[in-house]
Structure 1
Amino acid sequence: MARLFAAGAIFSCALILGHPAAEARDRLLIVGSSTVFPFATAVAETVGGEEMKFPIVESTGSGAGFALFCSGTGENTPDITNASRPMKPDELETCRTNGVTPLEVRIGYDGIVLANSKRGPKFTLTIDQIFLALAEKLPAGKDGRDNSNMSWSDIDPSLPQEKIEVLGPPPTSGTRDAFVELVLEKGCKPAGKMTEEQCTRIRRDGSFVEAGENDDLIVGALEANPVTVGIFGYSFLKKNLDKIQSVGIDGVEPTFENIASGAYPVSRPLFFYVKSEHLGVVPGLETYVAAFTSEAAWGDEGYLAGKGLIPLAVEVRQEQVARISKLMDLNGTRKTQ
């Protein structure tokens, strides 16, 4: 079941979004990216309780979050969706068709990391090696050949003589989309003449396992099996450094400084999208947005940086706040784009 945060409790999305009591709900509904989930819940904990009721935050994955968010307006639809990738043109068209006007807020950056248990071997990989480990097809003739690399040492004798077993996000995840774009597509280019479809297909022979949207479960699985490698956002590595270790990529470790400087090769921007039609209608929406985009939260010394969010440059944050202020009155008066 997907995770939901609301004053420390766990709820079922189906019960909340479909329950008759939701028809007159008085708290925010937030869905989307598992990567942005820890940051969204931190803001919810900060604003909830006194000024407003605790928002409900669900980890659905970026794709599923966009589907829920763009399904329409009203009490039974989310007010905000978190995303670890930008909204796609077809998703924006669905939003518009259903009367939804999304307001995009870029919140910072994240690194996609590979990690394994501290009890396992410490090693680094190149982007090309990751492609050779996880691609369904490798170059050979017109249609390629099935990937026969079963252990890391099959790819390079210097790598561990351990079975390739990688736990990663499902197709609905923005992390999966970004990983395919930033790693598989890039690693495929020098491999030979392969189609885009071949370059982006992940093997399905058991070497890669879709582990759902709960990144905490991946961390637990890595502890249980030291030779397994997991794929998730930097924030989950940061909060579990006592248990897991990073696998460097192209000789660069995924540290806060390396992601912020651009030295780490697998990084991406993070977002949330606000449903403009709910501004001034759902209590607390403007308060939440203002809290998330405050320097106390997303600034260089903000509490979200302490949880692993890589802040935007100060001038970019200022531009974002100015743009958001033009599109909505943070006191609750609706403005149109």
Structure 2
Amino acid sequence: TWNEIDPALPSYRIEVLGPPPTSGTRDAFAELAMEGGCKQFAWIKKIKKDSKAAKKAGDKALARQLKNRYKAICHGVREDGKYIEAGENDNLIVQKLEANPKALGVFGYSYLEQNEDRIQGSLVDGVAPEFELIADGKYPVSRPLYFYVKTAHVGKIPGIREYLAEFTSDNAWGEEGYLVDKGLIPMPEKEREEYAEAAKKLTPMKF
């Protein structure tokens, strides 16, 4: 039960419904939520630090071993039935949450928004999964959407420039764009203008 993990939590049976390892949502949850939890433990953080140190020292085998251990701890889920893989159909997770209001579900924001009359979002560090809080980066379990274009392919593979122009148009990613209906949280207008111009000019990314 949850109170066995933290006495402040209710004595409900643990049941978490989520996507399988093949899902991008699962990857994002592991990276943002589960790794976020790992960072609270010094001994786990040390594994990652030691992996980087081993790589820098040229010990690739040890670096890989430590990296795999870190990933197993921070990305692995329980296999005792407490985490239930509900496939990649988020509608199914919503239905199961309705059947068991004490369960937790892992899925994209668009399904929460579409079903606010049936389910509720969970606070993370006291922050609710709301449109404005996700847009300004305050909700911890959210991240930007990236896509990459290889400039060498432009002019050789038809449609790349057109795709960039369409995706970065207000009609697509603007505040009233059709991607918002699919769950995209648009960036502030100024940022959209900057990235649209960069896409138009094929400006190389800087890391």
The TM-score, its normalising length taken from structure 1, stands at: 0.46
Displacement, 1:285? Answer: 6.4
Displacement, 1:287? Answer: 5.0
Displacement, 1:246? Answer: 0.9
In 2, distance between residues paired with 1:322 and 1:307? 24
Task: Render the CA deviation track for 1:27-73: whole Å, top value 9, x for unaligned.
Answer: xxxxxxxxxxxxxxxxxxxxxxxxxxxxxxxxxxxxxxxxxxxxxxx
The answer as to whether partners of 2:127 and 2:139 remain within 8 angstroms in 1 is yes
In 1, distance between residues paired with 2:154 and 2:102? 47
Q: 1:319 aligns with which of 187, 194, 198?
A: 194
1:246 and 2:121 equivalent?
Answer: yes
The answer as to whether partners of 1:280 and 1:286 remain within 8 angstroms in 2 is no
Counterpart code for 1:323: A
In 2, distance between residues paired with 1:279 and 1:169? 38
In 1, distance between residues paired with 2:155 and 2:78? 44
Structure 2 portions without partners, runs of 5+: 48-69, 203-207
Counterpart code for 1:178: A
In 2, distance between residues paired with 1:175 and 1:190? 22
In 1, distance between residues paired with 2:10 and 2:24? 29
Displacement, 1:165? Answer: 0.8
Seen in structure 2, the aligned counterparts of structure 1 residues 278 and 167 have a Cα distance that, compared at 3 Å, is farther
In 2, distance between residues paired with 1:265 and 1:163? 25
In 1, distance between residues paired with 2:4 and 2:199? 51
Displacement, 1:244? Answer: 0.9
Task: Render the CA deviation track for 1:232-276: whole Å, top value 9, x for unaligned.
Answer: 111110011121111111111100111122221111111345687
Q: 1:215 aligns with which of 90, 98, 101?
A: 90
In 1, distance between residues paired with 2:20 and 2:180? 26
Match of 2:9 in 1: 159
Match of 2:136 in 1: 261
Task: Render the CA deviation track for 1:269-298: whole Å, top value 9, x for unaligned.
Answer: 11345687597766x766554333211221
Q: 1:183 aligns with which of 19, 28, 33?
A: 33
**Which structure is higher in RCO with an 8 Å CA cutoff and minimum separation 6?**
1
Counterpart code for 2:38: C
Q: How does 1:72-221 map to 2 (within 5 A)?
A: 151-194=1-44, 195=47, 196=70, 197-221=72-96
The answer as to whether partners of 2:165 and 2:199 remain within 8 angstroms in 1 is no
In 2, distance between residues paired with 1:171 and 1:306? 26
Counterpart code for 1:163: R
Higher percent of residues as strand: 1
In 1, distance between residues paired with 2:169 and 2:142? 23
Q: How does 1:248-327 map to 2 (within 5 A)?
A: 248-273=123-148, 277=153, 287=162, 289-327=164-202
Seen in structure 2, the aligned counterparts of structure 1 residues 206 and 186 have a Cα distance that, compared at 3 Å, is same
Task: Render the CA deviation track for 1:81-130: whole Å, top value 9, x for unaligned.
Answer: xxxxxxxxxxxxxxxxxxxxxxxxxxxxxxxxxxxxxxxxxxxxxxxxxx
Displacement, 1:314? Answer: 2.3
Q: 2:107 aligns with which of 217, 220, 232?
A: 232
In 1, distance between residues paired with 2:201 and 2:39? 43
In 2, distance between residues paired with 1:233 and 1:185? 18
Q: Tell me which moved more, 202-211 or 153-162.
A: 153-162
The answer as to whether partners of 1:171 and 1:177 remain within 8 angstroms in 2 is yes
In 2, distance between residues paired with 1:227 and 1:220? 13
Displacement, 1:153? Answer: 2.0
In 2, distance between residues paired with 1:162 and 1:180? 23
The answer as to whether partners of 1:167 and 1:228 remain within 8 angstroms in 2 is yes
Identity %: 56
Q: Tell me which moved more, 217-226 or 241-250.
A: 217-226
Structure 1 portions without partners, runs of 5+: 1-150, 328-337
Higher percent of residues as helix: 2
The answer as to whether partners of 1:183 and 1:266 remain within 8 angstroms in 2 is yes
Q: How does 1:24-35 map to 2 (within 5 A)?
A: none
SS in 2 for 1:244: coil
The TM-score, its normalising length taken from structure 2, stands at: 0.72
- Number of aligned pairs? 177
